[in-house]
A and B are shown apart, each in its own frame.
Chain A
Amino acid sequence: MADIKVYALSYCPWCKKTRRFFDERHIAVEVVEYDLADKPEQDRIVAEIKALSGGDVTFPCTIIDGTAVLGHHPDRYIALLGLPE
C-alpha cells in the first residue's frame, strides 16, 4: 500500500479537492493540516515545502512514496499510484 501524506490548509478549496480525490477512491492518506499544527511542526512543514516549491509555502502538497506533488493534480496521483484513468 502506498505511503501518502497530504499537507493541507483546513480552509483551502484545492486541498479539499485533493482530499476528496483519495476519499472517493477509499485510499488511505495521512492528512496534516498546517494551520492546525503547533509551531515546531509548522516550521518543519514550511522548510519541507519551501525546499520543494522554490520558496513559497503553497498547498496542497501531496507526497506519494517520497515523490512530492505540489498543487492539485489528479493526473499525477493516478500516474504515481498506477490507478485506472
Chain B
Amino acid sequence: MDRKALFRERFGRIVALLGYKFSPDEELVNDLLDAEVELERRYGAPYCPCQGRTGVRSEDMRIVCPCIPYHRAHYDAMKRCWCGLYVHQDVDDPDALTQIPLSELDL
C-alpha cells in the first residue's frame, strides 16, 4: 500500500472517532494528501500543507496530520480543519465552510 493510500485508510479511521470525515471535495483531498506525502518525504512527518513549521518541536507536532485534537475547539467552530482535508460528518457542502482564524472566533 503506498503512503497516500495508507494515509487515507489510517487517517480516515482516526478522524471518524473524532466525528470528522474526509471532505467530499475529492480534488482537494487528493491535492492535500499528495502534499502530505511530499512533506513526509522532505521533513519526516505528514505536516498540514497549509500551516507553517517553525522548527520548534512542540509547535510543529501540533500540525502533524490529523491535527484535529490539538485544535479541537477551533476546528469544531469551523466544522472543518484548517486545510479542509476533514469536515464534520454532517457536512455535505464543504464550499459553504471557510477558514476562520482563531483570532476571529470567540472561544
Q: Hey, which bits of chain A sit against chain B, CB under 8 A? A: 9, 11-15, 34-35, 39, 42, 45-46, 49, 52-60, 70-73
Contact = CB atoms under 8 A, between A and B. Distances in A.
B32 A13 contact: yes
Given A53-B102, A54-B101, A71-B101, A11 B54 contact: no
Contacts of A15: 50
B52 A34 contact: yes
B56 to A, nearest CB: 9
B82 A56 contact: yes
A52 B38 CA distance: 28
B98 to A, nearest CB: 6
Given A11-B38, A13-B35, A13-B83, A57 B99 contact: no
Contact of B52 (A39, A42, A54): A42
13 contacts: A11-B38, A12-B50, A13-B84, A14-B83, A34-B52, A46-B54, A53-B102, A53-B103, A54-B103, A56-B82, A57-B54, A58-B52, A58-B99
B64 interface: no
Given A35-B52, A54-B101, A59-B50, 20 more contacts: A12-B83, A13-B35, A13-B49, A14-B83, A42-B52, A42-B54, A56-B51, A56-B102, A57-B51, A57-B53, A57-B54, A58-B50, A58-B52, A58-B99, A58-B101, A70-B99, A70-B103, A71-B100, A71-B101, A73-B98
Contacts of B63: 57
Interface string B36-63: 0011000000000111111100010001
B28 interface: yes
B93 to A, nearest CB: 16
B9 interface: no
Interface string B60-87: 0001000000010010000000111000
